[in-house]
Each structure stands twice: as C-alpha cells, then as structure tokens.
Amino acid sequence: MLCALATASPPAKPNPSHAAAADHHARLRAAAARSDLPGELAAFAAMSSSSSAPAGARPVLRTFTALLKLCAARADLATGRAVHAQLATRGLASESLAATALANMYAKCRRPADARRVFDRMPTRDRVAWNALVAGYARNGLAQAAMEMVVRMQVEDGERPDSVTLVSVLPACADARALDACREVHAFALRGGFDVLVNVSTAILDAYCKCGAIEVARAVFDWMPHKNSVSWNAMINGYADNGNSAEALSLFKRMLGEGVDVTDVSVLAALQACGELGYLDEARRVHELLVRIGLKSNVSVMNALITMYSKCKRTDLAAQVFNELGNKTRISWNAMILGFTQNGCSEDAVRLFSRMQLENVKPDSFTLVSVIPAVADISDPLQARWIHGYSIRQHLDQDVYVLTALIDMYAKCGRVTIARSLFNSARERHVITWNAMIHGYGSHGFGKVAVELFEEMKGTGRLPNETTFLSVLTACSHGGLVDEGRNFFASMKEDYGLEPGMEHYGTMVDLLGRAGKLDEAWSFIQNMPTEPGISVYGAMLGACKLHKNVELAEKSARRIFELGPEEGVYHVLLANIYANASMWKGVARVRTAMEKKGLQKTPGWSIIQLKNEVHTFYSGSTNHQQAKEIYARLAKLIEEIKAVGYLPDTDSIHDVEDDVKAQLLHTHSEKLAIAYGLIRTAPGTTIQIKKNLRVCNDCHNATKLISLVTGREIIMRDIQRFHHFKHGKCSCGDYW
C-alpha cells in the first residue's frame, strides 16, 4: 500500500464530481441535522405506495440519499434495504450518489459485503465512493481490506487519497498493528501536506500509539502546531495503554494547564494512571475536577473512579462513590466487589455480592471470578459449596476462569480432593487452571502429586509459565524434594526460556535451606545475577532459625536490615535465633534496634468460623464471651496431652521464668481457637482454623497430640501452607 501511495498518486486535477459531492454532503448533513425522521419515513411510505413516481429523478434521489444517511446513523438495516429496493425499481441504484449512500449505509449496518456489492456495480466511482468503502471496511474491523482499497483506488481509478481517506484507513492500520503501513501513510501525509490538518495528524499519532511506537507518536504530537482535545486524549491514552502511567498523568496535567477542554476520555486515562501509580492525592484532584466538569453522571467514569480508589487501597472512598452512584451497572458492582477482594476485605466482598443478588443484578463470569477468591480467603466450606452451586445454576461453572477460581477456592478451603475432581471434569484447561491445581497440592504438602501433575501438564503440550514454576518449586520446597526442585529451576530457563524472578530465587533458597543445605543456599544467593531482595534473605533467615545457624543468620539479617523492611518480622526472627543460642545480648540489641525504627511485632491471630460467625482470637486474649469456658477447656486439654508426652517447647520464648513461658505458650491464638472449636462442635467434626503467621513449634506439636487425644481432624492454614493434623501426625511431616 505504501509503495502505491508513494508512487501512484497522480497530480491533483479538478474533479468534476467533487462539487456535486460537496453539495450532496451539505444536503445530507442538513437532513441528518433535522430530527424529523418520522416525517421523512412518512414521505418514503407515501412514495413507496403511490403507483405514480414523483416528477424528476433528482428530488427523489435527494430524499432517498437523505433517508439512507438516517438509516446509517441508526443502523436501521431493514429500512435501508427497503430504500435500496425502491432505488432499484426506479433504476437509480447504480447512480453515483445513491450507490455511495447505499455503500455507506451497508457499512454502518455492519454489512461490508453488501457495501462491496453495491460498489462493484457502480459504472463510475469517485473518491467519495472509494472513501465510503475504505471507511466501511475499517469500521468493520476488516483492516487488510481497507488498506487494499486505498491501493486499488489509486491503481484502478487514479483517485488520489485525500484527508478523508487517510483518516479512514489509519484506524485500520492501527487495528492490524501494521506499523509499516502507518509509516507509509505518515510519509504520504507529509508529502501531500495533509499533516497540517489536526484530524490527520491525530489519527497518525493514535495509530502509532496503537502499534506501540509511542516515541514516534510523541514526536508527531510535539510537532503538531495545533492540537485539539482529541489529539491530547489520543496521546494520553497511548501512554496509559503502553504502561507509562507517569507520562500519561504528567501530560494530563499539562493539558489542564494549557486550558484544553478535558473530556471523559482523558479523565478515564488519568484515573487509570492514578490507580496504576497509587497516587491518591492526584486521584482526589481528578475526582474533584470530574465533578466540576459534570462527568458525575457518566457511569463509565464513575466505575473507573471505583477501580482507581480500590487500586490506591482506599476501599472506603471507592465504596462511597459506589453507594452514591445512582445508575449502577453490572460493571459498577463488579468493580466494587473486585476492589474489596483485592484489598483483603473478603467479608465486604461477599456481603456486596449478596446485596447484588437482592437487587436482582445478574452477575457474569467476571463477578464470580471477583467474589470466589474472597470466599476462598474466608475458607468457609459451606459458603464455598454455595458459590459453587450458584455458578452451576448460572451456567458459568464451565467458564475456564470461573472453574479455575473454584479449584483454587476448594484447595484454599482444605478440600483438595474436590478441587481435583473439578479439575478432572474441566472441559477446557488454561495454564492458570494447571497452576491453581499444582499450587493447591503444593500448599497442602503433596509435593509428589504436584510434581506428577506438572509432568502431566508438560505431556499435554501445554507450556508452563513463570507462575507454574513458582507453584512447582514451592511444592518441592514444602515436600522436601530437593533434587526435583533444582532440576525444575534449571529447566525453567534452559528449556522454556523463562527468566526466574525474585520469588523463584526466594523459593529455591527456602527449598535448600529447609533441607539443611545452608551453605549451598548461601552460595546460591551470592551467585544470583540480580541484587537479592528481602524475600530471598528472609527465606535464608528462616532456614537459619530452623537449623540454628547463628553465623549465616547474622549475615542475612544484616543485608535485610540494610534493605529496610517495613515489618518487624525479621527482627523478631533474629531475636529468636539469638535466644535459642542463649545469646541474650544479641536479643537485647535487636529489640533496641526494633524500637528505634518503630517496627512492631505483628500480633498473631487465628480465626475459626462456626455457623456463619467468624471468631477471631489473639494470643492471650480474654475478651471472648466464652473466654472462661475456653481457658478451662484448654487447661484440661493441656493436661490430657501432657499425659501422652507433651512437653512445652519453651525455646521460642525468653527473658521469663519457665512456668510463665509455658503459660504464654498455652495462650497462643491457635490453641484458643482449637479449644473453642472443641466446645462448639459435635464429637468427630473436623476443626478448621486459619492463622496469620507461621505456626510455632510448640503449637504444631500440641495440635498433633490434640488430634490424637480428641480423635478430631484439625486443618490449620498458616501463612505458608496447610497442616492436616490427624491421629497425632501432621501432613507436613514436621517440615514447614
């Protein structure tokens, strides 16, 4: 197309049909501007029914082309076809003005093939006709055909493209991501002097943006002597869509500064950018602005506002916008539910989903994919079953994204077997479906099964991605499969060309460290091609605690503290390592450092859900209604497990007398939650609890024995993985 554009442009000559076309357009514009369509249609009806044709073809033609224009604007194919039939009866269908209007009508009614048929029957075709076809193809997503037409108009009819042609074909080049074609159109526009037209230059920069050539687009933008708000919008959107939120936002501010009219398009791009960057102050200013310019009634803008506040972690502000929104659409509900879920407000997400049901808003697969992870986070088996049944009733359970969310949810609720049967029943499996199942097995300590499934996945020809490798490496780490883990890590880059990220390195250190290969883990860190992050040294520190290695712990901790962690968890870990080695000066030093930096120890909590109520326990908390009963049951429980050999593991607490230590251990949140579960549930019921930290040695040991003396199965989900306690043993094999 580009060669054709470059070479085949004949010199511009006066076009006899041009004046007529302009006149025709003026009349069409006038017709379109009039809103008396019923009147026009009445005239049409009268003409169709009258046996005698009105005198003179021209007035009839004028009425018909005006009608066609209206049909095109309303995408009214039926009336358009009726007009076509009338024109054909009168032998006017191939007349240039009529045929062009017909082609345009068919194109706008999404019938490009019909448009082409009309066009092909025209005895002579002018530029207006060619342009109608180019625009028709481009509008219907037939980019290649549109570009071909631009070549043919020059080769076959010697018609030189004009600004209308360029503005029509550029979106087609953009849709086809045809960067070379964009360049050729751009060059043609420069040679023909069309680039001074603001709509042509804007279409050029927009096409460059969509082809990812953002720098070139910016050069076009900066060069433009006149820009309108469409030009600014195109450039800002270009940055936002190409992931350069900072530049999108700075350009938006410049647009405001230069007094250009801001529209919904630029506001949407600015909101997206604020959300990506998490810039709350800027976000609030855009919010004020959009209220000022009257965009509050624009529901797309308001939905974007909800998403943006959620991304800035301000679900309170998002909820305020949502609640004040008068004309909520399903997208508004979805945005708010997802916002809650992604910010860990799972209860709110589920509550809002219920409200959506009450208000009879029909959910779609996106709604379910947003709410199911919230149900997974709450880990209530009853709710999990309910949402699964609901997905089936809505015929959305075989949607691959919904199905994957369900698999992940069942695994997180401790129901790996159900997750697997869903996985087996899937009609379609995406890579994320495999990842969810492999991760599910890994988090429950079924390392071998996870590895088998990973091999099966490779056997089906499905390509693993970075997340698949992270899941399988985690599974190897939790299952103690050191050799397999090493091989998978190497294979990631060698066989699949995937670059390991910080999380993969962290998991490898965890894998080696847990297995007691501390020196190998340390040299692995030293040989990393990128600067190791906190998570990598954190994994090393955890391994040092497990294997009581003070020297490497100090080295790791030094690096972590240099990197400035935001939580006190690593300081606590190091203090515990010192305490285990009876290095009390070290303990004191770490504590002082922690106080100086204002870092807090994360308080431990455990939750248990019983009959739709969530009970949260903090270590040592006594504010539960049934606190007395709980402590009494716990005291009895401790006596019972002591009888089968329980010895409080007081290593992890220091500075206090042994009996006080035991007392402190006995009030750990998970023990309180278990005691409460035993009081509230019938004998034989499985007890399920969730904890925000890693379970400590003592609680792990105690829980094993509790499962033995009470005959209960206890499922504990800690921050790392699941522990299934049964008959005095844990599924993790004491390896966590």
User: In the range 97-136, which residues lie near Zn ion by CB under 5 A?
Assistant: none
Q: Is 730 in the site for Zn ion (CB under 5 A)?
A: yes
Q: Which long-range contacts (CB under 8 A, 24 or more apart) does 420-428 make?
A: 426/398, 426/400, 427/398, 428/398, 428/400
Tell me the pairing of strands 687-691 and 714-717: parallel
Q: Which of 659, 733, 646 is nearest to 698 (CA)?
A: 646
How far apart are CB 688 and Zn ion at their closest, in Å?
A: 14
Q: How far apart are CA 42 and CA 63, in angstroms?
A: 12
How far apart are CB 635 and Zn ion at their closest, in Å?
A: 16
Q: Which CB, 227 or 723, lies closer to Zn ion?
A: 723
User: In the range 638-677, which residues lie near Zn ion by CB under 5 A?
Assistant: 668
Q: How far apart are CA 315 and CA 509, in angstroms?
A: 36
Binding segment for Zn ion among 57-65, 196-204, 240-248, 689-697 (CB under 5 A)?
Answer: 689-697
Q: Is 573 in the site for Zn ion (CB under 5 A)?
A: no
Q: Is 572 in the site for Zn ion (CB under 5 A)?
A: no
With CB under 5 A, what is the number of residues at the site for Zn ion? 6
Q: Which CB, 168 or 669, lies closer to Zn ion?
A: 669
Binding segment for Zn ion among 23-31, 511-519, 684-692, 728-736 (CB under 5 A)?
Answer: 728-736
Exposure of 382 by Cβ count < 10 A (0-12 exposed, 13-18 middle, 19+ buried)?
exposed
Strand partners, 198: none
User: In the range 490-519, which residues lie near Zn ion by CB under 5 A?
Assistant: none
Q: Which of 530, 529, 532, 510 is nearest to 520 (CA)?
A: 510
Tokens found for residue 37: 């369509």
CA dihedral 459, 462, 465, 467 (to 10 degrees): -80
Q: How far apart are CA 194 and CA 207, in angstroms?
A: 16
How far apart are CB 619 and Zn ion at their closest, in Å?
A: 8
How far apart are CB 704 and Zn ion at their closest, in Å?
A: 8
Q: How far is CA 330 from CA 315, 540, 587, in A?
A: 18, 46, 55
Q: Is 732 in the site for Zn ion (CB under 5 A)?
A: yes
Q: Which CB, 132 or 714, lies closer to Zn ion?
A: 714
> Which residue, chain included where needed, has tokens 């224009």?
69
The sign one gets for the Cα dihedral 431, 433, 439, 442 is negative
Task: Please check whether residue 170 is in contact with residue 185, taking contact to mean a CB–CB distance below 8 angstroms.
Answer: yes
Binding segment for Zn ion among 83-91, 210-218, 223-231, 724-732 (CB under 5 A)?
Answer: 724-732
Binding segment for Zn ion among 81-89, 90-98, 310-318, 697-705 (CB under 5 A)?
Answer: 697-705
How far apart are CB 591 and Zn ion at their closest, in Å?
A: 20
How far apart are CB 670 and Zn ion at their closest, in Å?
A: 6
Q: Is 723 in the site for Zn ion (CB under 5 A)?
A: yes
Q: How far apart are CA 335 and CA 374, in angstroms?
A: 14
Q: Which CB, 62 or 723, lies closer to Zn ion?
A: 723
Q: Which of 313, 300, 312, 246 is nearest to 273 (CA)?
A: 246
Among 207, 539, 696, 706, binds Zn ion (CB under 5 A): 696
Q: Which CB, 537 or 617, lies closer to Zn ion?
A: 617
How far apart are CB 707 and Zn ion at their closest, in Å?
A: 11
Among 267, 699, 708, 714, binds Zn ion (CB under 5 A): 699
Q: Which CB, 678 or 730, lies closer to Zn ion?
A: 730
> Which residue, chain included where needed, has tokens 């490798």?
469
Q: Which CB, 349 or 699, lies closer to Zn ion?
A: 699
How far apart are CB 662 and Zn ion at their closest, in Å?
A: 12
How far apart are CB 734 and Zn ion at their closest, in Å?
A: 6
Residues in contact with Zn ion by the rule CB under 5 A: 668, 696, 699, 723, 730, 732
